Amino acid sequence: MTPRPFFSTLCFTSLLLGTLTSSAQPDASTPNDGLSISHNAGTEHFHLQWWAKEDNHYFIEISEDLQEWQLVPLTMEGANTPANYGFSSSSDKLFLRLVYAEDPDTAFRSRYPAPDLGELPDWWQIFYFQALGIDPQGDVSGNTFSNVWHYENAEHPFDFFLDDEPTIQIDSGDGQTGDAGAILPQTLRVLIEVDGQPSVNAPVVFEVPSGLGLVRDSANGGAWGKRVTVRTDVSGYAEVQFRLPFALDYTAAIDTFPDVFKNTPPDVFFEAFTLGGFGTQRLTAGSWHSAALDGEGQVWTWGRNHYGQLGDGSTVDKWFPQVVSELDPAIQISGGYESTYALLADGTVKAWGRNNHGRLGDGTTTDRSNPVTVAGLTSIHQVVGGFDHALALDEDGSVWSWGRSNSGQLGHGNTDTEMSPVKIDGFANVARLAAGY
């Protein structure tokens, strides 16, 4: 279909700040979509912002003379969040045109000329990749068909299965039990088939809701996380390792919820369900302050806050628990002396509070009232805070330490202070950590 203009052509002079909003459909109940442009006074720099609600599709064109129109590289499908684009122009006038299209692919093809044989048009690259310079012969989907083949055949470049409908069969790993923080002995494995035949190299997304465990690619390793994409093997199988959450001290069972969506890999959801009560890892105490971890991965703190150990951006004491807001979901927490540590679901560690001797591990001695990343730590299983030092245990059973070492408490064979984590040599396969004074 030929796209219909969504807004009348809009003109901005180099001295004008303009904003225009309108409803995307004639139905008055449809939430507003909008387009705005702003100009930095005394410069040639402009800022364009576009936003759209629900699943509305648009493209934006810009011109300096109403003769030649250039496609603006903004995300084209509304997702209820603004898209931003900065550009420079020395022209006295700029013209913008926002066009709505029910079928963006058809609209673009009818509006813009076809590229040379074997090339990709700019609009196609921007629409699907939000970037230019995409390799025409690249195979983003992994289904052996090139990007230019997907363009020429009007297929979504990330759609591995094209018009086929894959099926998911849970092969193994369902219904296992284990203790808090344990890696289940059997991998979680699914079989992907199309028309009864194994689908080779198909992408499969394994996802775990926040706070209910972690997964990782069992074949290639890597960091633990809430979501991982794995390709099927030559027999059509994809599998991951599953680690139960540290935040819950219980025995858990796995349930599965397979689903398939057009243009996206099959999704397989795994959750750990509570069979027991709350565990000891939900609460921790530091010096004059306390912290708790809830089932959603939120960290709550209260008590003394002279050095920011409550992580709320202030140094004001709190008599009641309040959420550490600038923190992604955590799976384990530990209180140190006037400091607090949190292990996140992606295997990284955050710390906040007092930082003399570098106990927060961010390479400085600056106290932090908001969480900061402990430098260089990935794939961590446990973190513990001591008096002026801290320890972390990684997936290989190795131990990392940082902070003060006046009595050798860092385990490096010296009394040197370490401002960021350093691996302790000489031993491995550690199961659990504890830190003292």
Question: Please, which residues bridge with residue 229 across strands?
Answer: 205
Copy the structure tokens of residue 309.
């150990």
The C-alpha atoms of residue 293 and residue 380 are separated, in whole angstroms, by: 17
pLDDT exceeds cutoff 60 at 146? yes
Q: What is the mean pLDDT of residues 48-53?
A: 65
The model's pLDDT over 55-98, given as tens digits with 9 standing for 90+, comes to 566 677 777 777 777 776 555 455 555 666 666 777 777 777 76
Structural contact between residues 227 and 205, judged by C-beta atoms closer than 8 angstroms:
yes
Please give the backbone phi and psi of residue 285, each rounded to the nearest 5 degrees, phi first. -130, 140
Whether the pLDDT of residue 286 is over 50: the answer is yes
| % of the chain beyond a pLDDT of 90 | 14
Q: Are strands 399-403 and 418-423 parallel, antiparallel or unpaired?
A: antiparallel
Which of 3-12, 35-44, 262-271 holds the top average pLDDT?
35-44
pLDDT at residue 61, as a whole number: 76
pLDDT at 76: 47
What pLDDT sits at residue 22? 30
For residue 3, what pLDDT is reported? Answer: 35
What does each C-alpha distance from 252 to 180, 257, 272, 308, 395 come to in angstroms? 8, 16, 5, 36, 20
Higher-confidence residue of 307 and 223: namely 307
Return the minimum-mean-pLDDT range out of 164-178, 264-278, 336-350.
264-278
Average pLDDT, the chain: 74
**pLDDT, position 235:** 93
Return the residue matching tokens 């979901």. 329
Look at residue 322 and tell me whether its pLDDT is greater than 90. no
**pLDDT of 253 strictly over 60:** no
**Contact criterion met (CB below 8 Å) for 426 and 432:** no
Which of 154-158, 218-222, 360-364 comes out lowest in average pLDDT? 218-222
Residue 340 structure tokens: 């607090």
3-state secondary structure of 259: strand
Q: What percent of the chain has pLDDT over 70?
A: 69
Task: Name which residue leads in pLDDT, 376 or 271.
Answer: 376
Task: Kindly indicate the confidence band of residue 211, based on its pLDDT and cuts at 50, 70 and 90.
Answer: low
User: Which carries the bigger pLDDT value, residue 263 or residue 393?
Assistant: 393
Which single residue is written with the structure tokens 């028309």? 195
If you average pLDDT over residues 317-339, what whole number do you get? 86
Mean pLDDT is lowest, of 40-54, 93-107, 242-256, for: 242-256
CA 13 to chain centre: 39
Question: What does the pLDDT read at residue 17?
Answer: 31
Distance CA 214, CA 297 (A): 13
Q: What integer is the mean pLDDT of 377-383?
A: 86
Query: What is the per-residue pLDDT for 199?
Result: 87
Q: pTM, whole model, 2 decimals?
A: 0.47
